[in-house]
A and B are shown apart, each in its own frame.
Chain A
């Protein structure tokens, strides 16, 4: 427990200290919310556009913090042999991974709070009715996308290529999943592609809970798909995750 707390503090310091991760994964979704919120007006899904965008960009933020941020961090640490070096210390691997995931959860929680405050201040969006359900979404989202991020880090070969590869995955899937706005006017085949992506189901959940005041458990299908993607991420991680740089 002492080691876990020590490592969690270290991870927090590392996250906020790194301009890349803090700007790219924390600030960027908030910026996008401000930007899109100022551009779109009128109503989406029968609610003010800024509310619908808030719900969608919450899900996008989760992908950025838990998936993109975690995967890039792990690839860079692996390729610089930091992970290998940590393996020679008494820090148990499970403690290391747990601290990293919990640190990610802390960051995303702060981002969610920041987004609600920002929405309230700038666009007058309401705070969520069902806070407990929002908490459950945050936990499930981080668990699913962190597992996928750890899994993907094992597949990405070089630190230089990591953010390109990850953007190539994140940006299209954000469009197809409705994280940048509704997809109902997309061609049918694009919507079909969107239907297999985990991000779409996280957007479904945030829409249901924040826009329509449903409970978290009212969407068992979406929860099931996210859980399945999380398990797939764990399997990939178990098969592909490495502590040592690729070239050795």
Chain B
């Protein structure tokens, strides 16, 4: 079963092409990550799927609906965590959950959801007295209280300290065990790796890679060999470092030269991603 299918999606804001031809599919029960730097078009893509924005071109189906003209059940079946929102500062955690539960035909038990997102000790605390991390957990609880089939999480841990991030990850993992389909955006590489079944890497409005985190990270990584000749730095990238190094050094030995500042190193995973974001031309 396909939960979300996106084909040839485009969206511009005036002269700015925010999304330039995006295709992907998300299976029911899958946790799918959209990974990319700020301004890559992740939020625009997600907000089109949530029904907030109209697309300029392309085909979109979300739970069998066109989000621009959703059927009556569409909003019963989705849960949304926005990048930033502040829910009813003067209500308590429990009251906010009850308020949102009232909007749905078949809500989950409110107290159960509060336990699920780890706010049971703050149940009767007003929202304005919660910490930033607790407010994000409230956002997640409210997104789950309608018992949705599909949950959108837009940068759910931005601004968290490491401990709060790890706690949020645990919660998002628990969504998978509830059988929810999750679309998650993030600009943290480790977050996508930790949470997503599959990851699409976005850059400048396009998807440059799609795959499981393992597929993405096991992609062949070229080794970098650097040295200096006549004061100029030379960089060779190769998948066969032994052979290249042997040729370089034997030639140098034959000439009686020293390879100045010779260095051989393997780029880190982080650098591979940064290279995807910065150098590679997006696949057409």
**With known contacts A89-B75, A89-B103, A90-B76, A13–B91 Cβ distance under 8 A:** yes
**With known contacts A89-B146, A90-B76, A82–B87 Cβ distance under 8 A:** yes
**With known contacts A10-B99, A91-B103, A244-B52, A82–B85 Cβ distance under 8 A:** yes
Mark A87-106 against chain B: 1 for CB-CB distance below 8 A, else 0. Answer: 11111000000000000000
Q: What are 18 A-B pairs with beta-carbon distances under 8 A?
A: A3-B103, A10-B102, A14-B88, A17-B91, A80-B87, A81-B82, A81-B84, A81-B85, A81-B86, A82-B87, A84-B52, A87-B52, A88-B51, A89-B146, A90-B75, A90-B103, A90-B146, A91-B103
Residues on A with beta carbons closer than 8 Å to the beta carbon of B191: none
Q: A10–B50 Cα gap in the complex (Å)?
A: 25
Docked-complex contact A14 and B91, CB < 8 angstroms: yes
Answer whether residue A18 sits at the interface, using C-beta atoms and an 8 A cutoff.
Answer: yes
Mark B66-109 against chain A: 1 for CB-CB distance below 8 A, else 0. Answer: 00000000011010101011111011000100011011110000
Q: Point out residues on B near A: beta carbons under 8 Å.
A: 50-52, 75-76, 78, 80, 82, 84-88, 90-91, 95, 99-100, 102-105, 142, 146
Q: A85–B146 Cα gap in the complex (Å)?
A: 13
Shortest Cβ distance from residue A86 to the other chain B in the assembled complex, whole angstroms: 8
Main secondary structure of the interface of B (DSSP, over half): loop
Answer whether residue A6 sits at the interface, using C-beta atoms and an 8 A cutoff.
Answer: yes
Residues on A with beta carbons closer than 8 Å to the beta carbon of B142: 85
Q: A3–B51 Cα gap in the complex (Å)?
A: 21
Cβ contact of A80, chosen from B86, B91, B95, cutoff 8 A? B86
Residues on A with beta carbons closer than 8 Å to the beta carbon of B52: 84, 87-88, 244
Q: Point out residues on A near B: beta carbons under 8 Å.
A: 3, 6-7, 10, 13-14, 17-18, 80-82, 84-85, 87-91, 244
Shortest Cβ distance from residue B85 to the other chain A in the assembled complex, whole angstroms: 4
Residues on A with beta carbons closer than 8 Å to the beta carbon of B75: 88-90
Chain B residue nearest to A243 (CB atoms) is: B52
Shortest Cβ distance from residue A116 to the other chain B in the assembled complex, whole angstroms: 29
Shortest Cβ distance from residue A93 to the other chain B in the assembled complex, whole angstroms: 11
**With known contacts A84-B82, A87-B52, A244-B52, A14–B90 Cβ distance under 8 A:** yes
Q: A84–B95 Cα gap in the complex (Å)?
A: 19
